[in-house]
Amino acid sequence: MNQINPAYARASAGVLETNKVLRNTYALLAMTLTFSAFTAGLSMALELPHPGVIVTLIGYFGLLFLVSKFQNSALGLVFVFALTGFMGLTLGPILNIYLTQIGNGPQLVMTALGGTGAIFLGLSAYALTTRKDFSFLGGMLTAGILVAFLAALAALFFHMPGLQIAVSAMFIVLMAGLILYQTSEIVHGGERNYILATVTLYVSIFNLFTSLLHLLGVFSGDE
């Protein structure tokens, strides 16, 4: 009677688990992006004002904490949609400004959207097909995102347009690295929670889009 090699069985189970996490992550990511687009559209239609930096940060980090706390329960899914819906609401007023107050605003928005999609799909495909291990980026990304976040706050509160441009460029590079890192973590078994993986990729896409939009606005001479 043939016996199954334990090492082969473990490897097969690992591949199945990886495929499951990937499938669940991309399915949830698609749903959250759709929901976020809906709430952004709702915010635009109702012409809601932007909640402001303080409310946005409190809402973002508060919901992010709840997602992390309930990552292994159904409540985690609820808070994922709460987080992405909230971020969509904060994005709506920004898009309204571009679409109604800037001459080539619609073109800028579509260019930023297309660029974000191309970057995300290209980097994800690269990480999935090459299966390279990008775990070495973890520490650098953490430090870089912290520096960029603090610099963004300084640029905002002290009204430093030059620093804002630099921060947007930094976030584009950092979010591209985060997409590679997170996809690699799923592929190599470093991330087994699809809720956390989805939130990381969503935040990467959101920041990538807003940073591209800002840079395009600046270099088109409309900001």
Q: What is the predicted pLDDT for the residue at 161? A: 87
Domain count across the chain: 1
Report the pLDDT value the prediction gives residue 5, as an integer from 0 to 100.
56
Per-residue pLDDT tens listing for the chain (223 residues): 455 555 444 445 557 778 899 999 999 999 999 999 999 999 999 999 999 999 999 999 999 999 999 999 999 999 999 999 999 999 999 999 999 888 889 999 999 999 999 999 999 999 999 999 999 999 999 999 999 999 999 998 888 889 999 999 999 999 999 999 999 999 998 889 999 999 999 999 999 999 999 999 998 765 5
pLDDT for 7: 47
Q: Specify whether the CB–CB gap between 83 and 199 falls below 8 A.
A: yes
Domain presence at residue 206: yes
Of 175, 181, 198, 176, the residue nearest 22 (C-alpha): 198
Name the amino acid, one letter, at 169: A
Report the first-to-last Cα separation within the chain, whole angstroms: 74
Residue 45 is assigned to a structural domain of this protein: yes
What is residue 189's predicted lDDT score, i.e. its pLDDT?
86
Whole-number pLDDT of residue 9: 45
Distance between CA atoms of residues 172 and 18, nearest Å: 27
Q: What is the pLDDT of residue 157?
A: 86
**Of 210, 176, 166, 184, whose CA–CA distance to 56 is shortest?**
210
Long-range CB contacts (< 8 A, 24+ apart) of 167-174? 168/211, 168/212, 168/214, 168/215, 168/218, 169/211, 169/215, 170/144, 171/207, 171/208, 171/211, 172/208, 172/211, 172/212, 172/215, 174/141, 174/144, 174/145, 174/148, 174/207
Instruction: Identify the pLDDT of residue 75.
Output: 95
CA distances from 223 to 62, 99, 207 (A): 31, 13, 18
Within-domain flag for 1: no
Q: Residue 43 domain-assigned? A: yes
Domain hosting 169: range is: 6-219
Question: Are 198 and 32 in contact, with CB atoms under 8 Å apart?
Answer: yes
Residue 222: the pLDDT is: 58
Calpha distance 17→209 (Å, rounded): 31
79 domain-assigned: yes
